[in-house]
Structure 1
Amino acid sequence: MQAVNNFFKTLVELIGPGAVSVIPRENDGYEGTEYKAWRLVFRPALYKYEIYPIAFILMYLIWWRVGRAANRAKAKGWLDSALPILEKNFTLLAPNPKEEKFPLIADGSDAFLSYASGRRGTLGMHTTISLIARHDPLTLIYNHLISPLIDLTSSTPSDTLTIAVSLRPESNPSASTKAWGVSLVGDPAGDTGAGLRTGTWGVLRKEGLNERRRGRWDLSFPQIQPDSTLPAIADTFAVLSESFDITTALLAPSTAGGSGLKEILEDAESSSVLRSLVISDLPAYKPYSPLPHPSPLTITVVLALPPSTPAGVALTTAYLQVLFNLTDLLTPSTGVFPLTNIKPDTVRKMRKVRIESWKEIKEAYSKEHVPVAGTAAAKEGETKDAATTTAPATREYVEWKDDDEKKPKKKPNAAERKAVEEMERRKKERKEKMKGSK
């Protein structure tokens, strides 16, 4: 053991740095400023390069704090301006403004969410406030300086407000016709104008129209209507519709029972904040597989976030009122603004297009998801196929092959079972004789 210790001691002396000479702090030749605390000494002059990353981190934290506070103030300012009309139309707001100091759900520092429910004809209203990343200077530099150079078609981020209202379907189950994910509310026969209310309809700003259409599957169904067939609305907007009748009904003036959307689109100041308004009975993104239930009719409005000034408050109130009017217009049970003059042929055409689309989705899904042998889906399919095939009385069961051909197999009788047992007995005797001979 002593020899091992001597070996390692010699090895350390050979590869080690040698003896360390301890020089008193007062005699080490340092003449700069130093700070002492007990046995700790800090000499700033020795840290020439470390100061830069430390300063960057401190500045980043200060920027993040200020930007985060600015975004929260903007989001809360809009909600405060919208509270009077929201509390008038809904019985539940979440988070509750009366109980929470900051009545919004923060999804990071640049996105804030709110939910409202308890209004006639609606399942709920989801509000999303998406703001510029003021809290992140690196993201600001990329979005405003680098991204436009990489992609010339990209749009500069801005403060946006998205409000989505999902309508409640007809409460009477017998008043709904469902086929491949299509729900025709209030239309038992599926061939009258009281059924499919709007299909997919939208008003979108022409700037960036193609990009918005590519981002939503449901906007591939309607077509852009020529400007000559539209009412007098701002030239900066395009109307997407599956039928001219629907556009006429939705853009009816307020004096004729309309929602007030036409008046907003005609006013330059009010329409300047509108990015898009889409009414859709289909999912925004193409489903990977057939949906177990139809999608509810949803009204989605995207606005540039109105400021908290008196003019901004007036804009917020006007758009929310139009949104609630559209909700009543498209809800059969309310009858406040009944949507009329929709031809039965239009409804049948929209219904046919949707059924064909759902069939294509189901066929594509079925091709990619073939039931695996032994699983519940495969056994279910085999049971159905076997039930449709009449087998002879002599067949006890059917063995399925990979190519779906049925091969009959008889159950062995008593003589066959006895012959098999005799063969097994002889095999066993031969094995025992071979072992004995060895």
Structure 2
Amino acid sequence: MAGLAKVLASLTPPPFVNPEEYDGLEFRWRWFVFRPALFEREGYLLLALLGYVIFFVWGRWTNKGKANKWLDAHLSVLETQFSKPKRWIQDGYSDFFNFSTGRRNVASLHTIFTLRPRHDFFQWGFQTARTFIDLQYRPGDDLQLDFKLFPEALAHDFVWAVVSKDELLSVKTDRWDLTWTKTTENAGIPSQFSVMSEFADVTDGILRAFPLAKLLADPKIAPYFRSLSVTDQPRERPAKPLEPNEREKHVILSLRAPSSSNAADTTDLVAAMFSFVDALSKVALRPETKTKLRKVREENDKDIKKEAERDKKEEEAEALEAKKAAKRRAEEERISKLSAAEQKKIVERERKRSIRKSQSKVAK
């Protein structure tokens, strides 16, 4: 109790002492007297709280404005392409989502804004401070357009991407499906981009079907472009082989979100993505490439299945061991409640049983 009293005493603020003599600024109204100089600490706290509130309001307004400006600039494109474009769905103050459906070859389009937490001073400050420690860490405003394709929109199963070289260090960490690919240079692509492809034939087929080099050469695109990928695999490694009805094909455009004043800079790129999606059905591959792609997927499914079976066996073994341990504890608890004589009998019986087991092993 004495220790608790000391702790409470240390947390209790000292009693207020009103000085008899005061020659500072003073406000009087009837019986009310306010002397600001006596509340200097409280003034600083109030100022900090006011700063935090202003930062919160500014950050929330900035993020929402950036998302709305982008959607307003691209709404005409979405309305032309989809029968059911929608406004933003907001999750918190830094994440915004848009969902559009009703187009040939595209089952749906998820547009996802992941903005910096400008509304939260402490998160924003942590991100900023980390950039001085981790030179590879570059927080920013991310924009992703995820086109989920109808199965017939992609004639073949493959993983392919064109990536800004600034993103190569992180892209394979974030995307399991892109670990299937090899990173190469391609003369048909501007030099600031690299190609990630399972086989060179896939790259040739895509570049023949769609004039991607011309699109990427647009100087307005370079500041925002991160990656463009075509994939028939999930972005995270599945725990078990996927069933046919669980397999999806996607075209994913990843961008750095433009500022509110430059929101229209990505309009041409987004509009071109619909032509790119339509062109994928025309990608032609050699028969041997198709065979290689199929074998890669079969081997991958086998590896995932083996790993899933191994994990299942380990979980079952751990569950069995836990069950045995619980049984032992229950038995030990039961024995501990017996009399000393009965406990001695049980110990003697276990000793004789151990001797018989050891003798039988020697006899064998």
TM range (shorter): 0.7 to 0.9
Question: Offset of 1:163 from its aligned partner?
Answer: 0.4
* 1:366 maps to which of 304, 309, 312: 309
Q: Quick one: structure 1 residues 137 and 160, their matched pair in 2 at CA, closer, same or farther if it must change by over 3 Å?
A: same
Indicate the SS of the match to 1:163.
strand
Give percent identity, aligned residues only. 32
Distance 2:286 2:249 in 1: 19
Instruction: Report Cα offsets for 1:357-397 as digits up to 9, x if no partner.
Output: 11111111112224969xxxxxxxxxxxxxxxxxxxxxxxx
SS in 2 for 1:353: helix
| Counterpart in the other structure of 2:279 | 329
Which of 130, 147, 151 does residue 169 from structure 1 map onto?
151
How do 1:209-248 residues align onto structure 2 when only pairs under 5 Å count? 209-225=168-184, 227=185, 230-248=186-204
2:283 to 333, 339, 360: 339
**In structure 2, what is the equivalent of residue 7 of structure 1?**
none
For residue 271 of structure 1, report the CA deviation from its aligned partner.
3.1
User: Any conservation in 2 of the 1:110–1:131 contact (CA below 8 Å)?
Assistant: yes
Please, which of 223, 231, 244 is the counterpart of residue 272 of structure 1? 223
Distance change >3 Å, CA 43–CA 132, structure 1 → 2: same
CA distance in 2, matches of 1:158, 1:242: 29
Q: Equivalent of 1:316, from 266, 287, 292?
A: 266
Q: For 1:95-120, what per-residue CA distance to the aligned partner results, in whole angstroms no more than 9, with x for missing partners?
A: 3xxxxxxxx12222222111101111
- Distance, in Å, in 1 between the alignment partners of 2:159 and 2:102 is 25
Query: Do structure 1's residue 153 and structure 2's residue 136 form an aligned pair?
Result: yes
User: For residues 276 and 208 of structure 1, what CA distance do their matches in structure 2 show?
Assistant: 8
State the alpha-carbon separation in 2 of the partners of residues 329 and 154 from structure 1.
36
CA offsets per residue over residues 238-280 of structure 1, 9 Å max, x none?
101112222112123xxxxx43422112233333321111111
Corresponding residue for 1:56? 48
Question: In the aligned structure 2, how far is the partner of 1:46 from the partner of 1:165?
Answer: 62
2:156 to 176, 180, 196: 196
How far the C-alpha of 1:92 sits from its partner, in A, is 0.9
> What is the rounded CA distance, in whole Å, between the counterparts of 2:122 and 2:30 in structure 1?
38
- Give the deviation of 1:207 after TM superposition: 1.6
Counterparts of residues 342-357 of structure 1 (less than 5 Å)? 342-357=285-300
Shift of 1:126: 0.4
The AA in structure 2 aligned to 1:165 is F
Contact 1:200–1:219 under 8 Å retained in 2: yes
Tell me how far apart the structure 1 counterparts of residues 37 and 275 of structure 2 sit (CA, whole Å): 70
Match of 1:141 in 2: 125
Contact 2:224-2:256 at 8 Å conserved across structures? yes
Q: 1:123 to 1:29 in 2, by over 3 A?
A: same
- The aligned counterpart of 2:109 is 125
- Larger radius of gyration between Structure 1 and Structure 2: 1
Q: 2:75 aligns with which of 83, 86, 92?
A: 83
Distance in 1 of aligned mates of 2:253 and 2:211 = 14
Q: How many residues align?
A: 297
**Shift in alpha-carbon separation, 1:214–1:37, aligned structure 2, 3 A:** farther
Contact persistence 1:231–1:251 (CA under 8 A): no
C-alpha separation in 2, matches of 1:87 and 1:238:
32
Which AA in structure 2 matches 1:196?
A: H
CA contact 1:222–1:242 (8 Å) conserved in 2: yes
Q: Distance in 1 between matches of 2:133 and 2:232?
A: 36
> Match of 1:69?
61
- Which segments of 5 or more consecutive residues in structure 2 lack a partner in the other structure? 1-17, 318-364
How big is the shift at 1:320? 1.6
Give the conservation status (yes or no) of the 8 Å contact 2:206–2:280.
no
- CA distance in 1 between counterparts of 2:59 and 2:106 reads 36
Unaligned runs of 5+ in 1: 1-26, 96-103, 171-184, 187-194, 253-257, 332-337, 374-438
Give the C-alpha shift of residue 222 in structure 1: 1.1
- Between the aligned partners of 1:320 and 1:28, the Cα distance in structure 2 is 69
Residues 364 and 94 of structure 1: CA distance in aligned 2, closer, same or farther (over 3 Å): same
CA contact (8 A) 2:140 2:256 kept: yes
Contact 1:264 1:271 in 2 (8 A): no
- Provide the C-alpha distance between the structure 1 equivalents of 2:311 and 2:258, rounded to a whole number of angstroms: 47
Instruction: State the 1:124 CA deviation.
Output: 0.4
Across the aligned residues of Structure 1 and Structure 2, the Cα RMSD in angstroms comes to 2.7
* Cα displacement (A) at 1:131: 2.3
Report the Cα distance in structure 1 between the residues aligned to 2:238 and 2:63, rounded to whole angstroms: 34
More helix by share: 2
Q: Which amino acid aligns with 1:321?
A: A
Contact 1:259/1:322 (<8 A) preserved: no
